[in-house]
Every structure is written in structure tokens, then in C-alpha cells.
Amino acid sequence: MIDLKKEEISLFLQKVKDDKKHFNKYLFYKLQYFYGRRSQEIAVLKINDINFDKREITFDLAKKKQDTKLTLILPDDLAKEIRQQFENTESHEDYIFVENELKIDGFKRNMRTFLERNSNKIINEVTGKNLTLNTHDFRRLRGQHLYLAGNDLEIIQSLYAHNSLDQTIEYLQIKEIEVNKMLLADIS
């Protein structure tokens, strides 16, 4: 289990954002973490998946047999950063992060490689911890943070589009979290 708090993820994201040439990586990771989405679901986002007037963002959910969409709220700060990412885009059919569909796999590989090469150094710098992240860690950590904040597991299951509560419990490593909490409480 990766031991990073919500605040530490924020510090990590800010550090990536501070390097202007990595703004697209920052935004990609921030969207992954905030919405708890898979890399594929972020990489294929198009401008027309964003409704700025209604303050909504729609994701095509990966790993579903039928086309499944999930529409969620779009906070003002994310809306502003998404606009910044695609301010020079000409068509509302364009992808937010890539020029065309052929570049999606390379883009995802780039996001994964950046984390493999840089996350340990950045995390160590901002938290003192010796950890390396992969892109999927943002999804799992978000769910864990939502759970630890007291959110209902059935609602988290819905966000993650898991078929069962057991799947969510296993995916988020809830039993491990609870065992650790129990052990720490017993020390006091």
C-alpha cells in the first residue's frame, strides 16, 4: 500500500506544475487523482467532453463491455486549467492532450515514463518519503483518500464503476487500511 496523504499528493502535483514544460503532465495527473479515473479515460478526453456552462466533464469509461459514460462536476479551478491546456485548439472534436487518436498510446507511455523516472525524486523532496508512483496509483490513492475522509463505500463503488462492493474493498485495500488503523489504535 502506498502511504501518501492527500496533502502530499497536492505537494507532488504542485511541484510538477511549477515546471512550465510539464503542465500537461500536471493536468493529466490532477485529473486522474481528482476523478479517480484510469489513464485511458483521461488520455481520450476531448474538448466536447467538457461543458463549461453546466460545469460538467464526461468520461468514457474503460473496461466496460458497452459504452458507458460518467458525467461529473467540473470545479472552476480545473475548468480554468483545462482551458489553458487547449486554448490554441481549433476544433471541438480535438483531444485535450493529443493531436489525434494515433498519439494516445505514446502520450500514455510518456505519462507513465515521467512518473517512473521522476516521482521518487519529487516525492522524496516534498515529503521525505522514498516512493515511486505509477499512473494507476493516483486512481487507487484517490479512492483510499475518499474512504478515509468518511465517504460511503457504495458511493465510491459507483464512482469507480465497480461491479460489487467486494471489488471496491479489494481494489482500495480497505481491509489493510482498517487492520493498520486497528493496530495503531491499540498502541495508544
Confidence check: pLDDT of 185 > 80: yes
- What is the predicted pLDDT for the residue at 67? 75
State mean pLDDT over 95-101: 90
- What is the predicted pLDDT for the residue at 87? 76
Confidence check: pLDDT of 144 > 70: yes
Confidence check: pLDDT of 2 > 90: no
Find out whether 127 and 15 touch, Cβ atoms under 8 Å: no
Please classify residue 110 by burial: count the beta carbons closer than 10 Å to its beta carbon, then call 0-12 exposed, 13-18 middle and 19+ buried: middle
Enter the pTM of the model: 0.91
pLDDT digits (tens, 9 = 90+) for 9-45: 999 999 999 999 999 999 999 999 999 999 999 999 9
Q: In the structure, what pLDDT confidence band is assigned to residue 4 with cuts at 50, 70 and 90? A: very high
DSSP conformation letters of the chain = -----HHHHHHHHHHHHHSGGGHHHHHHHHHHHHHT--HHHHHT-BGGGEETTTTEEEEEPTT-SS--EEEEE--HHHHHHHHHHTTT---TTSBSS-SSGGGHHHHHHHHHHHHHHHHHHHHHHHH-------HHHHHHHHHHHHHHTT--HHHHHHHHT-SSHHHHHHHTTHHHHHHHHHHHHHH-
Please classify residue 106 by burial: count the beta carbons closer than 10 Å to its beta carbon, then call 0-12 exposed, 13-18 middle and 19+ buried: exposed
- What is the predicted pLDDT for the residue at 1? 77
Domains and their CATH numbers in the chain: 6-132 (1.10.443.10)
State mean pLDDT over 150-169: 95
pLDDT digits (tens, 9 = 90+) for 48-95: 999 999 999 999 998 766 678 999 999 999 999 999 887 766 665 689
